[in-house]
């Protein structure tokens, strides 16, 4: 009996084993099939994502080429490492080169560049960012202490036929937006230009890189019947700042000078200052001055032979001698015409002391007395003629309100040892304080005294003219507006 059932049992076991193996095989095949399906789906997703990314890149590149160019960021003064650091973002085409240049005395017609030793170029990365370090000489911050310098970020046309040329054109004619400026070296070209103005030696070490605000272009922009509106919108101890609007074409040189009165034939700052008319017909011009006077005024002018940024276009439109121009502010001067406008500069109602200067910023007055008026060379004893100036100073101080804070500060140029100059400036400030307190009724004032030596120049020490202005005693009167 047992023997008869044995084959049946064996057959059942075999069937069971085969069935199990078949199910395992099916499950394994199904798992492989599922894995292959999942892998294919992942591959499809990757392909889809790559396609989307490629389309987005192509779309963004198209947007970058068609959109206005945008640049933003910051410029950091790193005095410890003797460099200027630029950190910026943009929508510029990757691999675009941004050239960095630095100029001294930026508002002078014949400004000069500060050499770095090699061209400083920042290359735009895939995300639009770019960075650059402009390394300066070890004495840069000492040499330009107290002065403005201009740092330019420039993108010029690329004629090599690469994708930069395709994006912006061989002459930059496809550039767009508020950073675009016309420029004629030989033929007309367009470039992106972002200037940043730094005042070396101030507490401010970070400056913003941003797009200028543009007004609507006047309806009669480029007309030869010229009009110009301008006013002084601010001032500090160095400049009066003029804002203007006109129908004068972009690139025209506007020259500004401050005169003490109508009888004065020479401006206070003989060099004058210049800026170019912006693409929307506006301009912003700092005008240097020595002292504010009751009858002072600013003269704005543009002449045919000025150093215009687009001279060929301007002479074609206005004539080589501006002979095509007309309007109330167009004047005949010798054998040519000029654009000429005078604007009043607000007086502070205080007459400067004899042989001295008064400047103003946000209600703070500075009476600046040159050392040659007060002292002999390398001396700290007052000259006999110094009392004529100091008596005028005393008259101003006696008229101030109670508890007005004043400072008496001594300054020198950078000739000689720094420690010696510091001591000399302290002694001279002390001598002036002793005189005004002894000879004037100024007990109602809060008086502080400092000697700064050569550390706070107001002009470059590279010239005798600048050193002469730096040798001075200042009386600072705070909060005159209050």
Pairing of strands 336-344, 357-361: unpaired
Task: Inform me whether the pLDDT recorded for 206 exceeds 50.
Answer: yes
pLDDT at 71: 97
Q: Which helix or strand (DSSP H or E) is residue 367 part of?
A: strand 364-370
pLDDT at 84: 96
Helix (H, G, I), strand (E, B) or coil at 143: helix
- SS in 3 state form for 285-324? EEEECCCCCCCCEEEEEECCCCCCCCHHHHHHHHCCCCCC
pLDDT at 52: 53
pLDDT at 479: 73
pLDDT at 72: 97
Pick the CATH number of 228-344 from 1.20.1050, 2.60.40, 3.30.420, 3.30.1490: 2.60.40
Q: Where are the domains of the chain?
A: 71-209, 228-344, 357-477
Structure tokens at 209: 């890189």
Cα within 13 Å of Cα(60), Cβ side: 14
pLDDT at 29: 58
pLDDT per residue as tens digits for the range 264-323: 888 998 778 999 999 999 999 999 999 999 999 999 999 999 999 999 999 999 999 999
Q: Using 50, 70 and 90 to split pLDDT, how confident is the model at 56?
A: very low
pLDDT at 110: 67
The model's pTM: 0.81
pLDDT per residue as tens digits for the range 109-168: 667 788 777 789 999 999 999 999 999 998 899 888 888 999 999 999 987 888 999 999
pLDDT per residue as tens digits for the range 367-426: 999 999 999 989 999 998 999 999 999 999 999 999 999 999 999 999 999 999 999 999
- The CATH architecture of the domain made up of 357-477 is 2-Layer Sandwich (3.30)
Q: Do domains 71-209 and 357-477 have the same CATH topology?
A: no
pLDDT at 146: 82
- Give the DSSP letter string of 414-451: SSS-HHHHHHHHHHHHHHHHHHHHHHS--TTSEEEEEE
- What separation in angstroms does the CA of 346 have from each of 303, 392, 481? 26, 22, 14
pLDDT per residue as tens digits for the range 71-96: 999 999 999 999 999 999 999 999 99
Q: 71-209: which CATH topology? A: Immunoglobulin-like (2.60.40)
pLDDT at 255: 94
Asked if 203 and 69 count as a contact pair (C-beta separation under 8 A), the reply is: no
The answer to which of 43-52, 93-102, 105-114, 428-437 has the lowest mean pLDDT is 43-52
């Amino acid at each position: 009996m047992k023997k008869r059932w044995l084959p049946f049992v064996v057959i059942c076991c075999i069937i069971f084993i085969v069935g199990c193996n078949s199910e395992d095989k099916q499950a394994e095949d199904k798992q492989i099939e599922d894995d292959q399906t999942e892998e294919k789906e992942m591959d499809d997703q990757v392909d889809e994502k790559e396609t989307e990314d490629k389309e987005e890149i192509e779309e963004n590149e198209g947007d970058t080429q068609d959109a206005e160019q945008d640049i933003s960021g910051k410029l950091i003064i790193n005095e410890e490492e003797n460099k200027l650091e630029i950190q910026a973002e943009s929508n510029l085409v990757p691999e675009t080169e941004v050239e960095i240049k630095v100029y001294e005395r930026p508002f002078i017609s014949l400004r000069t560049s500060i050499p770095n030793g090699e061209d400083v170029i920042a290359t735009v990365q895939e995300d639009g960012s770019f960075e650059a370090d402009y390394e300066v000489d070890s004495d840069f911050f000492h040499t330009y202490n107290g002065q403005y310098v201009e740092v330019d970020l420039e993108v010029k046309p690329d004629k090599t036929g690469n994708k930069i040329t395709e994006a912006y054109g061989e002459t930059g004619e496809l550039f767009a937006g508020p950073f675009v400026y016309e420029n004629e070296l030989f033929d007309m070209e367009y470039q992106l230009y972002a200037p940043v103005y730094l005042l070396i030696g101030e507490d401010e070490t970070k400056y913003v890189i941003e797009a200028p605000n543009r007004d609507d272009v006047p309806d009669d922009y480029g007309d030869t019947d010229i009009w110009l509106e301008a006013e002084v919108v601010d001032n500090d101890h160095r400049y009066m700042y003029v804002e203007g609007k006109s129908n004068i074409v972009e690139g025209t040189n506007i020259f500004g000078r401050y005169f003490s009165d109508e009888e004065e034939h020479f401006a206070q700052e003989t060099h004058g200052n210049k800026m170019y008319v912006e693409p929307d017909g506006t301009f912003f011009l700092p005008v240097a001055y020595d002292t504010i006077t009751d009858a002072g005024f600013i003269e704005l002018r543009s002449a045919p032979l000025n150093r215009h940024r687009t001279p060929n276009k301007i002479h074609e439109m206005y004539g080589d001698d501006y002979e095509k121009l007309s309007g109330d502010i167009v004047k005949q001067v010798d054998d040519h015409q000029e654009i000429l406008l005078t604007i009043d500069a607000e007086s502070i109602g205080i007459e400067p002391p004899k042989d001295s200067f008064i400047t103003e910023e946000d209600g703070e007055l500075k009476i600046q007395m040159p050392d040659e008026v007060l002292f002999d060379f390398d001396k700290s004893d007052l000259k006999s003629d110094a009392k004529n100036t100091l008596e005028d100073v005393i008259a101003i101080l006696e008229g101030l309100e109670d508890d007005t804070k004043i400072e008496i500060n001594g300054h020198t140029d950078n000739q000689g040892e720094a420690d010696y100059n510091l001591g000399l400036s302290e002694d001279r400030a002390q001598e002036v304080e002793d005189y005004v307190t002894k000879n004037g009724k100024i007990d109602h004032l809060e008086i502080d005294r400092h000697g700064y030596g050569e550390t706070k120049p107001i002009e470059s020490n590279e010239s005798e003219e600048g050193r002469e202005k730096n040798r001075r005693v200042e009386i600072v009167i705070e909060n005159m507006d209050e």
